[in-house]
Chains A and B, each alone.
Chain A
């Protein structure tokens, strides 16, 4: 068991290292060296001494490999992700940490809702294959699956915000209002509804599709015949024998959809001007703020590696066959 966990963690670290090195290479490909870019971003007159000081600070006077790579990696490990061009030389790590909570709330809520609803609908659809729930859920999830989340977000804004005026379609708090903390929280919740709905709906389709496929496989297995022969009711067969087995492929496949989660989160934030990582990404892209972009890439890479790690470990808990 421990050897398997060791292997999983080792592989995760390997992927993370590859992400960091890719980050380093990309950073160095950009024309002009970081010192130049940083000082250009600061829009000050640059003296030769300042330039050299920057070069020395970045270690650019030393060989690319191994010195610069090692420096970069050790700086990254210490939480030093460089300095933003756009935000007047602020540390990238600070910028990211500042924006992270808003994204975690949005993605966390949407993921929880999507996994819960998606897996339940999908499992039920696969269990009663060809039934009414199956037909509706499969049709709807196919459409949601192929629909870009940000488009869904725009449609929701047109209908519920601009059209009906029920919910705010922009930002995290209503502007200008100087109100009490309870009202402020309610205002925050109202602002959350549309972004969370857009992101969750975009993801639900995937979980339905995946869970349904997994369940359709499970119901044909021999141990389901055994369970029926044992005189179990349909409910007992579903809960005791089918559910856990169907969850196995679901856990694996959830990690395959992480690209959709990231793409959905970033673009939906862009639609709602949500002050999270997605908003930061758009600002960094528009301003060609590479250090921030690199920091975001590292963050996304690390989150994906972490999600895969959790999924691998969870799989081991669910399936005794892979434990040894």
Chain B
């Protein structure tokens, strides 16, 4: 991105990462040559439809790829060191201590038969080697931190509201003082007000604890509230990457534009969600060229044959043939 001199400053680097899933002999590529980097304390949104590869990208970073996943190229570096993301046992020390996850729908993500305080204290005991007493004290602090009275810790997950459960999930994610927190659709299934409260909490904790936040969502409006930067994914590739302000003001990729248009906005009279025409891409039989070209309103001849590379454009990056000529001109002008 900005050159090798600053490489040491990156907390996390993902370089040309491709992951395949094998299912009954059929292999499908979930993500393809995904590259990006993250600084400490930075908040990035990873946006896309289901099947766009956003969850696979996040799970690869957290070292939680499923056993049938295979890393076919690229790597993930944490503080400059390569992570053994395809080795389940070798990833264990990294998990939760460095990268933790706030899962979606905290009802099922929390174990129904254990009190929440026990579930929060568990990683403190197992990962940080605390005694039961120390871990419980820490868990109580964490509950207070996310805005739950510590005495509620004796509750079971089913006794809490959806928002409360999501707060518990956040408290649990902070237990081992990680530097990266991945939010996997953390506000799905919550009502709008609770959703806003959870996003606000995440934002506060981020600045307070200098956390890097990776927010996975299909909802661009959530990213607008909680992130500095956003990456749009389509069919396993990053198609656009830029600051939130830039992307909302001047979306470059046609898919990004359609995504922004589809957000209902009562302020300018748009009350209905306008879906993007066409079907989400099939990952086993991928369209030739740019995967988005069958649905693209600005499709050109070259789109069906050549895969556009992700190149720098302005402050961000984009993968679209539309801007290639201007990019080439620029490169030519520089040379």
In-complex A–B contact (CB below 8 Å):
yes
- Tell me if B94 counts as interface (CB < 8 A to partner A): yes
- Contact pick for B113, options A226, A228, A320, CB 8 Å: A320
Segment among A74-82, A115-123, A239-247, A304-312 that sits at the interface with chain B: A239-247
Q: A240-B122, A321-B156 are in contact. Are A225 and B92 (CB under 8 A)?
A: no
Report the bound CA distance from A248 to B112 in whole Å. 11
Asked whether B94 lies within 8 Å of A222 as measured between CB atoms, the reply is: no
Q: Which of chain B's residues have a CB closer than 8 A to the CB of A241? A: 111
- B-contact bits for A294-324, CB 8 A (1 contact / 0 none): 0000000000000000000000001111000
CB contact under 8 A between A233 and B158, given known A226-B103, A321-B112: no
Q: Which residue of A lies closest to B99 (CB)?
A: A229
Asked if residues A222 and B108 are in contact (CB atoms below 8 Å), the reply is: yes
Q: Is the CB of B109 within 8 A of A231?
A: no
The residues of B that contact A233 with a CB separation of less than 8 Å are: 92
A9 vs B127: C-alpha distance when bound (angstroms):
44
In the complex, per-residue mask of A213-229: 1 if CB is within 8 Å of any chain B CB, else 0: 00000000111011111
Indicate whether A3 reaches chain B with its CB closer than 8 angstroms.
Answer: no
Is A236's beta carbon under 8 Å from chain B?
A: yes
A222 to B169, CA, bound (A): 13
Specify the chain A residue showing the minimal Cβ separation from B101.
Answer: A229
* Cβ contacts under 8 Å, B92 to chain A: 231-233
Number of interface residues of A (CB under 8 A): 22
Task: Tell me if B136 is interfacial: C-beta within 8 Å of chain A.
Answer: no
B95 touches A319 (CB 8 A): no
Tell me, yes or no, whether A57 is within 8 Å of chain B by CB: no
> B95: which of A231, A236, A321 is its contact (CB, 8 Å)?
A231
* Cα(A258)–Cα(B125), bound, Å: 41
A319 neighbours in B (Cβ, 8 Å): 112-113
Q: Does A230 reach chain B (CB closer than 8 Å)?
A: yes
B83 at the interface (CB under 8 A from A): no
CB distance from A267 to the nearest CB of B (A): 38
Of the candidates B103, B111, B127, the one whose C-beta lies within 8 Å of that of A231 is: B127
CA distance A240 to B111 in the complex (A): 10
Say yes or no: A230 contacts B96, CB within 8 Å.
yes
Cα A218 to Cα B95 with chains together (Å): 22
Among A221, A222, A225, A248, the residue within 8 A (CB) of B64 is A225
A244 vs B119: C-alpha distance when bound (angstroms):
14
Complex A-B: 23 CB contacts under 8 Å: A223-B108, A223-B109, A223-B112, A226-B101, A226-B109, A226-B110, A226-B172, A229-B64, A230-B123, A231-B92, A231-B93, A231-B123, A232-B126, A236-B126, A240-B122, A244-B113, A245-B111, A245-B112, A245-B113, A319-B113, A320-B158, A321-B156, A321-B158
